[in-house]
Amino acid sequence: MIGATQRIALGYLDTLSHALRQWDLLQQDAVRAALLRQIHFTGVRALPLISLFALLFGAVIVTSALASVGADNELALKTVVWGGIRELAPLAAAMIIVARSSVAIGAETALMRLQSGIHDSLWKGAAYEDHPVLPRVLGLALSATMLVAYFQCIAFGAALLATSFTLRTPLPTELGHFLDAAHWWQIPLSLIKGTVFGAGIGVISCYHGLSVEADIREVPKAVMAACVGSLTWVCAVDVFAVLLLLA
């Protein structure tokens, strides 16, 4: 007999498989419009919040590092490189998406199921209103990638300015230190993590929203399950990535 955990995992895989099989739905104007709306809500509208996080991280972490190690600005920038590019940028983007979009998608898809009667035919493909999965999964994946890249740019800019101002050195000099401290593979790795985070959050949120019974009281349960499942996914992927790098 399949346990609850295995059943949920199979549901996630089925939801992802369904979205991938329906890729041709992007040719429809309604699906593309839904995708753009999802990117706007998840990515564009989150830019001010992630900008604030990135500015604080880039400026504060460098200032703290320089206060601790003195004028060793290369070490300070390495702290930003390793913390900002590879770790904090994807996590910050994922936490913002979970807080803003996972809950919204869980509630939205649950209400769509209750109101429009989405049922097993969902997994056989249909029009947009009967197919909420693809634009949301793809929208969250693209938005997460965009937010990670944006976080990196803002954090590094703030770090360079903070270092240059603190040490009274030219920006080109600090940029050279940054380039010496960085590794090329950190940026694509960070972007890949962000994409995986976003796609997984989309799949999990859609699955729980579309799994509600025909009862309005099931909507809060779906929202909670979407949030908890998304957080579990982010933690699991991050731990796996760390173990993979340490292996």
Residues 40 and 34: their CA atoms lie apart, in Å, by: 10
pLDDT at residue number 22: 82
- Domain residue spans of the chain: 28-246
pLDDT at residue number 191: 92
pLDDT at residue number 196: 96
pLDDT at residue number 108: 86
Residues 204 and 221: their CA atoms lie apart, in Å, by: 13
Are the C-beta atoms of residues 80 and 153 closer than 8 Å to each other? no
pLDDT at residue number 163: 78
Structure tokens at 33: 């419009």
Q: How many CA atoms lie within 13 A of 5 on its CB side?
A: 1
Which one, of 141, 166, 192, 156, lies nearest residue 84 by Cα? 156
Residues 92 and 83: their CA atoms lie apart, in Å, by: 11
Rg for the chain, CA atoms, rounded: 21
Q: pLDDT by residue for the chain (247 residues), tens digit each?
A: 456 778 888 889 888 888 888 888 888 888 888 899 999 999 999 999 999 988 888 888 777 777 766 666 566 666 666 667 778 889 999 999 999 899 999 888 888 777 765 554 443 333 334 468 889 999 999 999 999 999 988 988 888 888 777 777 787 776 776 767 667 777 888 899 999 999 999 999 999 988 887 777 878 888 999 999 999 999 999 999 888 877 6
HEC per residue, the chain: CCCHHHHHHHHHHHHHHHHHHCHHHHHCHHHHHHHHHHHHHHCHHHHHHHHHHHHHHHHHHHHHHHHHHCCCHHHHHHHHHHHHHHHHHHHHHHHHHHHHHHHHHHHHHHHHHHHHCCCHHHHHCCCHHHCCHHHHHHHHHHHHHHHHHHHHHHHHHHHHHHHHHHHCCCHHHHHHHHHHHCCCCHHHHHHHHHHHHHHHHHHHHHHHHHCCCCCCCHHHHHHHHHHHHHHHHHHHHHHHHHHHHHC
Structure tokens at 222: 């779906």
Structure tokens at 106: 């869980």
pLDDT at residue number 167: 74
Residues 199 and 84: their CA atoms lie apart, in Å, by: 21
